[in-house]
Chain A
């Protein structure tokens, strides 16, 4: 067991990347038994800072002290030797191996020449899991585990390696509300023996778990203080540098006819399983239908099928009355379907293409942008300048490669392209995942504006706050079916959470 970390301090850490100063003389400290929340928008430098602490990056300037002694981490192994362990946002587990094998991978002490002492590893897993009340089955292959269980395996793994300070990078981003509460509970109990640095931008979780909070903005510490003394609104303002008013659906106006109807839809997933098994759904003109669910319950397959990118096994999809279940993507697009895909970098834009080109990606063949098969560069440029203004796309020029833009701005490019086409129905998949609060606010505003212009919107999201703030009705998807559709005003975090976990109402 490593020596306990009584005090850990980062002093004046500076880290540069090409073109940006990721961390600028950042200092923070954590004491034993304390939880520090590290809060900031995307690109504020949180992850860079923690990667430095975990030994993945070396700082350009500044030092790290553990118990008063200056240390240097050349690799994650060095950090582990001093008791610092990080649980990354994307789990670092080998799916085909068992829990024990995954833990044993990192335990150097168990590797004897050519033999690996799996018995000892299994004993350690059980010991740690019992001690910290983190139930895991040491013999289960990781791929069989739910996301929440995998999260526990990550924690057990990190603790088995002797971590006395846990760094958790957005640990709740893939969890249901119940799983989140459960995780926060366990973490609180573990704090008797450990220190925790908790990276998040969900301020209610920050309030629930942390003792102190450090807020980063543009690579600098802008605030440091006790969590209890500040409201979430105050923290949000400090985080973004201004007052944040998240737009809400005012629920006015009666919804119109159905623009998107899905009946008994069956679609296979990538592994040949039935990812959608008899799904029914209606989206009406002038409404936002939120689709809540833990990711992996068929959202991706549904969105693909609606866009014509995944073959439909059986069932029907109607867009404004026209059957599109077996239509080509082109026909669906021409029929008035808009789509904001999940993976914006690869599905939403052609990275090496300029912003201009990406803005006409779907419509380059239309009369406005080409004539007799020849492009009209002047028109394409004019269109881009107009949309850049209207959607507040921040880029050095519209000729810049779209892939070099920030995530929020890429999302604005996609949204601009889709909304400018005046869609009858729009499918938006995780539209604000990973974008900062300012961009999220803008995107939400645009979706609400589209709703007012009588389009039907299917909003796929795993953020309950987002779904509840924007939707008229909320459908909960579980294992390829809609479990329940609620009016937004009747939905609470608790009911939605239960439904997302597959528990039917009443």
Chain B
């Protein structure tokens, strides 16, 4: 079967899957009395109308890229990190804590320190699940989900207790949020008047580095081998357990870094609902991007568009922004089912034969 036909087949399956996802969402929209066409138009074109919309897409894509890179590392190494959400929160706490502890330190020291602290915090949180899996064979899906709950409660506690802005206590409003971080710890804005910050550049550089790590270093080779064939890797003398722990440290580190970047670049203080589900959306981004940095970056930007577009529909058409979650769910189902068909040589051959019947003389199956 020709390479061209295979590419065509994959593209066709994905197109059908996307159409199916859109249909499901259209039905839901219809059911709540909204116009699917208008909604889709707003979601897909609304954010692209002006500079604000476009930069906002990129702002949303930054944490998605960072977390998805970590997810890709973990999935490739054979451990499924579902705990990015919790790791993000720990990253936010660590970055905030450092920035508030030594606010007077000079910017060239403080900013990197905050980023590193966030990454280390996330790495620690992810590493727990990694060590539990490597040493005690605890299923990482269970442990990371449970660690998410712990992180969420810890986060709430910190914002209402030790980290709460003293001003909130004085005025008595008691909003659970930290003090504003010192300016020297902020990531600089790339486009004045928008929220686009230099975290984007960091994310793009790291995407390149992740590619180098996975496909150009011995460490990455061993991690991928552990994920793609743990038994054979073990027979070849590769320490699979070590790969798992390293993968979870890195995955957690990337999520923690995403939290730090989000608080240092966008919000400038720890508040509730910072993550707004990036940890889960990034899993979809990572899968959508084929667990490859070159796919993850565009996938993250596309999901950034969906997120911003969904916000706009809420404002312009009164559609709840949570509809984007329905869209996400539909897309996950579509991807997973589409992959079954893309990878199935039998289905491919049937399609080739079917096509051959409609195109006499065509050589689709040749």
Q: Which A residues are within 8 Å of any B CB, using their own CB? A: 16-19, 307, 309, 328-330, 332-334, 339, 341, 343, 346-353, 357, 361-362, 364-365, 370, 373-375, 377
Measured CA separation A307–B222 after assembly (Å): 19
Q: Is the CB of A309 within 8 A of B235?
A: yes
Q: Which residues of B contact A17 (CB under 8 A)?
A: 346, 349
Q: Is the CB of B217 within 8 A of A18?
A: no
A403 nearest CB across to chain B (Å): 9
Q: Which residues of B contact A18 (CB under 8 A)?
A: 1, 345-346, 348-349
Q: Which residues of B contact A353 (CB under 8 A)?
A: 224-225, 228-229
Measured CA separation A374–B239 after assembly (Å): 18
Q: What 6 new A-B contacts, CB under 8 Å, besides A347-B232, A349-B229?
A: A17-B346, A332-B237, A353-B225, A361-B238, A362-B236, A375-B217
Measured CA separation A341–B235 after assembly (Å): 8
Q: Does B167 contact A (CB under 8 A)?
A: no
Name the contact of A361 in the complex, choosing from B1, B216, B232, B346 (C-beta under 8 A): B232
- B221, closest chain A residue (CB): A364
**Which of A349, A350, A357 has most B Cβ within 10 Å?**
A350
Q: Which residues of A contact B222 (CB under 8 A)?
A: 364
What are 5 sample pairs from A and B whose C-beta atoms fall under 8 A apart? A350-B229, A361-B233, A361-B238, A370-B217, A375-B215
Given contacts A373-B218, A375-B218, contact A329 B228 (CB under 8 A): no
Q: Is the CB of A364 within 8 A of B218?
A: yes
Q: Which residues of A contact B236 (CB under 8 A)?
A: 329, 333, 361-362
Q: Does B231 contact A (CB under 8 A)?
A: yes
Q: Which residues of B contact A361 (CB under 8 A)?
A: 225, 232-233, 236, 238
**Which of B1, B233, B235 has most A Cβ within 10 Å?**
B235
Q: Is the CB of A374 within 8 A of B234?
A: no
Q: Is the CB of B346 within 8 A of A362?
A: no
Measured CA separation A350–B228 after assembly (Å): 6
Measured CA separation A377–B212 after assembly (Å): 12
Q: Does B132 contact A (CB under 8 A)?
A: no
Q: Which chain B residues in 71-105 approach chain A with CB under 8 Å?
A: none
Measured CA separation A365–B222 after assembly (Å): 9
Q: Which residues of B contact A352 (CB under 8 A)?
A: 228-229
Given contacts A18-B345, A19-B1, contact A349 B232 (CB under 8 A): yes
Measured CA separation A334–B236 after assembly (Å): 11
- A353, closest chain B residue (CB): B228
Q: Which residues of B contact A339 (CB under 8 A)?
A: 235
**Which of A18, A347, A349, A362 has most B Cβ within 10 Å?**
A18
Given contacts A339-B235, A353-B228, contact A373 B217 (CB under 8 A): yes
Q: Which chain B residues in 216-256 approach chain A with CB under 8 Å?
A: 216-219, 221-222, 224-225, 228-229, 231-239
- A362, closest chain B residue (CB): B236
- A349, closest chain B residue (CB): B232
B242 nearest CB across to chain A (Å): 11
Measured CA separation A374–B216 after assembly (Å): 6
Measured CA separation A339–B234 after assembly (Å): 12
B350 nearest CB across to chain A (Å): 9
**Which of B1, B218, B222, B236 has most A Cβ within 10 Å?**
B236
Measured CA separation A350–B225 after assembly (Å): 7
Q: Is the CB of B345 within 8 A of A19?
A: yes
Q: Is the CB of A348 within 8 A of B216?
A: no
- A308, closest chain B residue (CB): B237
Q: Which residues of A contact B229 (CB under 8 A)?
A: 346, 349-353
B307 nearest CB across to chain A (Å): 32
B187 nearest CB across to chain A (Å): 30
Measured CA separation A134–B64 after assembly (Å): 66
Q: Is the CB of B218 within 8 A of A346?
A: no
- A307, closest chain B residue (CB): B235
A417 nearest CB across to chain B (Å): 9
B172 nearest CB across to chain A (Å): 56
A59 nearest CB across to chain B (Å): 16
Measured CA separation A346–B239 after assembly (Å): 16
Q: Is the CB of A329 within 8 A of B221?
A: no
Q: Which residues of B contact A329 (CB under 8 A)?
A: 234-237
